Structure 1
Amino acid sequence: MERSELDAWLRLLGTPGVGNATARRLLRAFGTPEAVFARDEAVLAQAVPAGVAQALRQPPPGHAALLEATLAWLQEAPQQRRLLAPGQPDYPAALLRMEDPPLLLHAMGDFARWPAFVARPEAPPGLAIVGSRQPTPQGLAHARQFGQGCAAAGWTVVSGLALGVDGAAHEGALAGMPADSPQPATIAVVGTGLDRVYPKAHRALAHAIAAHGMLLSEYPLGTPPLAENFPRRNRLIAGLSRGTLVVEAALRSGSLITARLAAEQGKEVFAVPGSIHAPQSQGCHALIQQGAKLVTCLEDVFEEFGAPPAPRPVPAEEAPAAAEDAVLAQLGFDPIGLDALVARTGLPAPRLQARLLELELQGQVARLPGALFQRLVTG
């Protein structure tokens, strides 16, 4: 993108009072951002309110600094960083099928694999995997397993780089992507500028995604993690995917926003069931009651799309006594307290605590907040 074109795009989208809808109206009327600024105020006022037309006559505050910062950011890694506008071949055409597509995307990542993903706007080979920022250990394991299976089957995992399920799904996809994969392992759609990583704990993960996938943002450089940006970016997560899988979610989770947006876009919605006692599963159960497909394995997802079965990961070897362990048999997969487990097993509390610690160290049991324990799926 040339400097003059970038200047016009940043000025248009940064002008107070100009949101996506107003910008689209101006582009329909005048063709390009440069053409917008070539018109006088009276002509602009025929397409937008007079106050907006007046604001367009001068650069917004901080525009010159933003332009220079964006040019420097692009030039720092030209093979990995681009700005994508509708009409350009690298712009994901699947987003143009949305009611409110982004007009300018900041992109950072593996552009060698990008064309294979954007070439199929009607059926992008991507699955959104989203969920709780505070998942159970089993939820984290599920997110990684689904992410790994998707990538191994040649699909791209789309998520939001958040803590919890999002991060685990990205990690699984990176681990499962074949070396010769023609498309990105995973796409992270973020709610900040691409010159910063949020949350900071995912800095290393963001770098790994940039090397083997793609980071996307519709927000200009320097944009901090504002609360209102994250629900809005969820429409892009849904738009880049053929369907959305919710692994764990509370009833007020932002993941349910992504699921609703996916449904509104005519996309499939999937949900992983969990314990009726776990708050992190209540959102998934609500989605299932509303018509989302209940999913217990990746084949349930691919069956809906008529895609080939997903490769099954080699199951981990069970601990020698796992099949016959009385504590595991009584523990089940729902969270349970120590007193209830004492009643089930008949074991003295000290002996039971010692066995639970052994199972926890073997990775077969998780210790949850509230002095609860939960058996994990290990295969």
Structure 2
Amino acid sequence: MKRQLLSPKERVDWLRLSRTSGVGPVTFTKLIERFETASNAIDNLADLSKRGGRAKPLKALSREQAEAELEDHDQFGARLLCACEPDFPADLAAIDPPPPVISVKGPLVLKDRMICAMVGARNASAASLRFAGDLARGLGERGVIVASGLARGIDGAAHAASLETGTLAVLAGGLTSIYPPEHEALYHAIADQGLLVSETPLRYTPQARDFPRRNRLISGVSLGVLVVEAAERSGSLITARYGLEQNREVMAVPGSPMDPRARGSNRLLQDGAALVQGVEDVLAVLSGARRTSLQEPGGSEFEDEFDDADALNDAVEDIRERIAALLSPTPVSRDELARLTKAPARVVLAALVELELAGRCEIWPNGMVCSAYQP
């Protein structure tokens, strides 16, 4: 995504498009790529959603609602950052796709700072809580910002130990949502000394499905993900998996084989995660990490580009319903859809965008897609 400064009007349009029902991060990114500006994309929403099979034309969030949200940010002392803007965290902007907008509150400056995510069990052992605090404190003293999710257990220990040196908390809900409630004091301390980050509207109350999205941001803003203690099938392992998908370094602290709270982190080590026994181990891994480039690929990488918009529309028209018929509640990869339909990847994705705008499918950031839930 091209880095650029947005005018006040362009920022409102960017927010309007990002908050439109049915426009997920993948669809948002593809709309910007196709129509170049959020304003142009908004002008084409009704037609695209109608082509996808929507009965009533899709409408973007109103300008008045977007302006009210921005004013609410100002009154709360928060800032809204768009993914294309220079102040948007560079590593987060490089993931595919980035969140279109994030809200931030706090004085911490991320530019040119190394960030390490630290996550782990909510019901962590006393030994792991202490070790997580020691690691976070030591990393902070060496100039590393510690990122986590403000959850109970390891998250809270990591934040508390790195308050003075720099900590970043990614929230599942809006910036006004304090969860868990017992972390209210820690939440306010981070707002005063560190940085609170959210991709949801300012006053949004989180639901269960929002926590994996939060985990994706924790790994996305970081150079590496360190799991201190995690059971199998835990949220911490979801963060580690996102880290792998985003080409982040994944590290784990070994735990007792007799403690079920360590089985997930020990499994990561068996699968090739870097073993961490102290601060120096983390620094060694992070120092070798490669940052994802923000450069856009050249045209030669897209041999199936359509110079004529009408030609793309015609190709999508021919394949859209075939793709819709292949979808089910079980996720399937976009590459598999391209293989089954023998259609160019860009045509498949353009068809999926129209189907999502029509409320007929969900496009996931990891390249998977499924049919939309129909009550």
1:187 aligns with 2:168: yes
Structure 1 residues 53 and 153, CA, compared in 2 at 3 Å: closer, same or farther?
Answer: farther
Please name the residue that 2:89 is paired with. 92
1:88 partner amino acid: E
Contact 2:73/2:79 (8 A) holds in 1: no
Shift of 1:118: 2.9
Contact 2:16/2:66 (8 A) holds in 1: no
Contact 2:224/2:286 (8 A) holds in 1: no
Q: Deviations over 1:124-144 (max 9, x none)?
A: 601110000110111111111
| Cα distance in 2 for residues equivalent to 1:298 and 1:193 | 32
SS across alignment from 1:24: helix
1:242 aligns with 2:223: yes
Q: Deviations over 1:211-239 (max 9, x none)?
A: 22111111112221211111122121112
2:38 partner amino acid: P
Q: How does 1:175-214 map to 2 (within 5 A)?
A: 175=164, 177=165, 185-214=166-195
Q: Deviations over 1:232-269 (max 9, x none)?
A: 22121112111111111001111011111112222211
SS across alignment from 2:281: helix
SS across alignment from 1:55: coil
What is the number of residues matched between the two proteins?
283
Q: Deviations over 1:18-40 (max 9, x none)?
A: 11122122212222222333458
SS across alignment from 2:54: helix
Contact 1:157/1:170 (8 A) holds in 2: yes
Pick one of 101, 104, 109 that aligns with 1:104.
101
Please name the residue that 2:29 is paired with. 24
TM-score (structure 2 length as normaliser): 0.69
SS across alignment from 1:215: strand
1:118 partner amino acid: K
Which structure has the higher relative contact order (CA within 8 Å, separation 6+)? Answer: 2
Contact 1:18/1:52 (8 A) holds in 2: no
Indicate the percent of aligned positions where both proteins have the same amino acid. 40
Please name the residue that 1:344 is paired with. none
TM-score (structure 1 length as normaliser): 0.69
Q: How does 1:32-111 map to 2 (within 5 A)?
A: 32-39=37-44, 41-42=46-47, 44=48, 49=52, 51=54, 54-56=57-59, 59=61, 64=64, 67-77=67-77, 81-110=78-107
SS across alignment from 1:118: coil
Q: Deviations over 1:309-353 (max 9, x none)?
A: xxxxxxxxxxxxxxxxxxxxxxxxxxxxxxxxxxxxxxxxxxxxx
Please name the residue that 1:173 is paired with. 162
Pick one of 268, 290, 307 that aligns with 1:287.
268
Contact 1:106/1:194 (8 A) holds in 2: yes
| Cα distance in 2 for residues equivalent to 1:297 and 1:242 | 17
| Cα distance in 2 for residues equivalent to 1:87 and 1:69 | 19
CA RMSD of aligned residues (A): 2.4
| Cα distance in 2 for residues equivalent to 1:239 and 1:304 | 17
| Cα distance in 2 for residues equivalent to 1:266 and 1:17 | 28
| Cα distance in 2 for residues equivalent to 1:64 and 1:199 | 32
Larger Rg: 1
